[in-house]
Chains A and B, each alone.
Chain A
Amino acid sequence: MKRLLPITLLAGVLAAAWHYWPASPRSWSAADIEMLRTLSLDSLGPLPADASNAVADNPLAAELGHALFFDPRMSSNGGISCATCHQPVRRFTDGLQKAQAIGTARRNTPSVVGTAYSPWQYWDGRRDSQWSQALTPLEDPNEHNTDRSQVVALIAADPGYAARYSELFGALPDAGDAEAVNVAFANVGKVLAAYERLLLPGRSRFDEYVAAVQAGDSRHQQALFSADEIVGLQLFIGAANCTQCHNGPLLSNNEFHNTGVISFPGDVPDKGRVAGVREVQANPFNCSGPYSDDRSRACAELEYVRTGPELIGAFRTPSLRNLENTAPFMHAGQLASLFDVLQHYNDAPLAMIGHSELTPLKLRDSELHQLEAFLLTLAAPPATDTKWLRAPAVALAAGRNQRQQQQ
């Protein structure tokens, strides 16, 4: 028995070493380099046009949208703006499991950065444009808890807003004309979207590293990436299967997948995309609806949208750019840290509803840490003039006046 003890100890030490000893990087193959090219921000094309929003690229609309984004008067208690949950310092997220505004929302606050590239908004894709998304929280009782009449009245009551609005869209509607109020409400979404289109991901250390790999500049590669970060990247495009969904320069295919993320105890399991498809088809502010500026109604995404049993409990693949300072993760913030997320994919638990697409990765702890190290190389400030990342003077003044009136 005594003889067995050292053997058992040795086996234990070896097993622990295997589990925790980090692997070393291998050299990049031509296929690897091609894959890296597809993930680099250099492969990101120009912003896709939004035919449903005639002011999407109008600077005056962006200016008005910027002010409205930060204006807390856009809420029932005068204290909630878009920026309450989409905080620029947290890459336009809020650090909470579920968004907290007037009440508690159902889901985790996703970032706004780069969403102009996605055909679908929200975790379940229940909106098909930035502008139709921007309208939704305004009337959600748990978020801004206001309504379209109040929003339009606010624009009319603020001389600066009213002047900008009129310059963009003509006269504001009479409060009693419900249909005209709907049009003006849609216009509010469109100026908010014109602002949000300016929030774009910035070039990260990862993108610099890819450029160095493409150039064959090994000295620069070593200066940019540690051995752990290289192995993490090699796992990311290899054994960890991450690029099956996190692909393209935004590290997202903008599609919906059931990855078996468990609901919080007491929460009804979230149906995700199957419910989102029904909602986007029925939404009057969708691309083919009467408030869309796309006169051709050539709304291909909506036209060919699909549902199916595999979309039960499926959620949109989030971009992995700028993960730092955005915890907790997943659609209801169920996983507290990036390492927890990686462990989730490694374990691949069964889904509560629908069927998870995951299979266990069987990666070692050291490999998960290397993946985490790589993911943090995607951090970068938005490629956006910093003036857009803070409240404009007009919204600050509006918030100050509102608080003074309440006192």
Chain B
Amino acid sequence: MKKIVMLLALGCLPGIAVADDTAWVSQNGLFVVRYQSPSGPLQINTLHSWLLHIEDPAGAAVAGARVEVSGGMPLHNHGLPTRPRVTAELGDGNYQLDGMRFHMAGSWQVTLVITVDGTTDTVVIALTL
């Protein structure tokens, strides 16, 4: 039921196709992040964008966040093949993340260092392609 509610909530966001309903909590619990790939399911070797939705633990949308993106494959000791970055804040806690690409199947980590009003916390998103 919780999953359905979350899907419905994300589905209400303007222009966003629901792809993943996982809520990723930052290491110190300051932020909750969801990501989606509007171009469809994640595929290797395709340059694509993500939409990030950032909330505080109470569920309020976070505005004015600075997000630094890194990542890689820990088992392969290499990073992302690109240098993605947030290119726009879309309102309602939504951010456009451009320049994403994964060039291998396997286990990836995407690390988001989020800073709001001088307070920083880190979210590590794990995904398998």
Binding site for B on A (CB under 8 A): 119, 243-245, 247-248, 253-257, 300-301, 303-306, 308, 310, 355, 357
6 contacts between A and B (CB under 8 A): A244-B76, A244-B105, A247-B105, A253-B104, A255-B103, A300-B47
Q: Choose one: B77, B83, B105, B106; the contact of A306 (CB below 8 Å).
A: B83
Complex-state Cα separation, A85 to B35, whole angstroms: 47
- Min CB distance B39 to A, Å, is 13
B77 near A304: Cβ-Cβ < 8 Å? no
Q: Tell me, in angstroms, the Cα distance from A69 to B99 when the chains sit together.
A: 34
Q: How far is the CA of A357 from the CA of B104 in the complex (A)?
A: 13
The prevalent SS among residues of B at the interface is loop
Q: In the assembled complex, which residues on chain A have CB atoms less than 8 Å from the CB atom of B101? A: 304
Contact indicator A306/B81 (Cβ below 8 Å): yes
Residue numbers in A under 8 Å from B44 (CB-CB): 247-248, 253
- CB of B89, distance to nearest CB on chain A (Å): 19
CB-based A-B contact count at 8 angstroms:
53
Docked pose: A303 CA to B82 CA in angstroms = 9
Bound Cα distance A54, B2 (Å): 51
Contacts of B103 in A (CB 8 A): 245, 253-255
> Any chain A CB within 8 A of the CB of B98?
yes
Q: B55-95: which have CB < 8 Å to A?
A: 76-85
Given A245-B104, A247-B105, A253-B104: A310 and B80 interface contact (C-beta under 8 Å): no
Q: What's the dominant secondary structure at chain A's contact region?
A: loop
Q: Are B45 and A248 in contact (CB under 8 A)?
A: yes
Residues from chain A with a CB closer than 8 A to the CB of B77 are 310, 355, 357
Contacts known (A247-B105, A303-B99); A255 close to B47, Cβ less than 8 A = no
* A304-B78 contact in complex given A247-B44, A247-B104, C-beta closer than 8 Å: no
Q: Which residues of A contact B81 (CB under 8 A)?
A: 255-256, 306
Given contacts A253-B103, A254-B45, A300-B98, contact A357 B84 (CB under 8 A): no
Question: How far is it, in angstroms, between the C-alpha of A303 and the C-alpha of B49 when the chains are bound?
Answer: 13
B19-40 residues with Cβ-Cβ distance < 8 A to A are none
* Complex CA distance for A355 and B82, rounded to whole angstroms: 19
Contacts of B99 in A (CB 8 A): 300, 303-304
Residues of A within 8 A of B76 (CB): 244, 357
Apart from A243-B105, A300-B99, A304-B82, what are 20 other A-B pairs with CB-CB below 8 Å?
Answer: A244-B76, A244-B106, A247-B105, A248-B44, A253-B44, A253-B45, A254-B45, A300-B98, A303-B98, A303-B99, A304-B83, A305-B82, A306-B80, A306-B82, A308-B79, A310-B77, A310-B78, A357-B76, A357-B77, A357-B78
Closest residue on chain A to residue B83 by CB atoms: A306
The answer for the CA separation of A256 and B104 in the assembled complex, in Å, is 11
Chain B residue numbers with a CB within 8 Å of A304 are 47, 82-85, 98-99, 101
Distance in Å: Cβ of B40 to nearest Cβ of chain A? 14
Q: How far is the CA of A156 from the CA of B88 in the complex (A)?
A: 48
Chain A residues near B106 (CB-CB < 8 A): 244
- Please, how many angstroms separate the alpha-carbon atoms of A72 and B39 in the complex? 46
A301 contacts B104, C-beta separation under 8 Å: no
Q: Determine how close the nearest CB of chain A comes to the CB of B111; give it in whole angstroms.
A: 14
- Residue among B76, B77, B81 having the largest count of chain A Cβ atoms under 10 Å: B81
Which has the most chain B C-beta neighbours within 10 Å: A244, A256, A355? A244
What is the chain B residue whose CB lies nearest that of A304?
A: B99
Which A residue sits closest to B49, measured CB to CB? A300
- For A248, the chain B residues whose CB sits under 8 A away are 44-45
Most buried by A among B80, B98, B101: B101
Q: List the B side residues contacting A257 at CB < 8 Å.
A: 78
Which of chain B's residues have a CB closer than 8 A to the CB of A255? 81, 103
Q: Please, which residues of chain B bring their CB within 8 A of the CB of A245?
A: 103-104
- Give the chain A neighbours of B84 by CB distance below 8 A: 304
User: Given the complex of chains A and B, what is the CA–CA distance between A243 and B105 in angstroms?
Assistant: 8
Q: In the complex, what residues of A have CB within 8 A of residue B98's CB?
A: 300, 303-304
Report the bound CA distance from A365 to B64 in whole Å.
59
Contact A244:B79 (CB < 8 A) given known A253-B45, A254-B45, A304-B98: no
Which residue of chain B is the closest to A355 with respect to CB atoms? B77
CA A310 – CA B79 in complex, angstroms?
8
Interface string of B99-127 (1 = CB under 8 A from A): 10101111000000000000000000000
Please indicate the chain A residues that have their CB under 8 angstroms from the CB of B79 in the complex. Answer: 306, 308, 310
Chain B residues within 8 Å of A308, by CB? 79
CA distance A119 to B103 in the complex (A): 13
**For residue A300, which residues in chain B have a CB less than 8 angstroms away from its CB?**
47, 98-99
| Cα-based distance from A244 to B44 in the complex (angstroms) | 10
In the complex, the answer to whether A247 meets B83 with C-beta atoms within 8 Å is no
Contact, CB under 8 Å: A247 / B45: yes
In this complex, what residue of B is CB-closest to A253?
Answer: B103
* B47: A residues at CB distance < 8 A: 119, 300-301, 304
State in angstroms the CA–CA spacing of A42 and B79 once bound together: 30
Collect the chain A residues with CB atoms within 8 Å of residue B78's CB: 257, 310, 357
Q: Is the CB of B104 within 8 A of A244?
A: yes
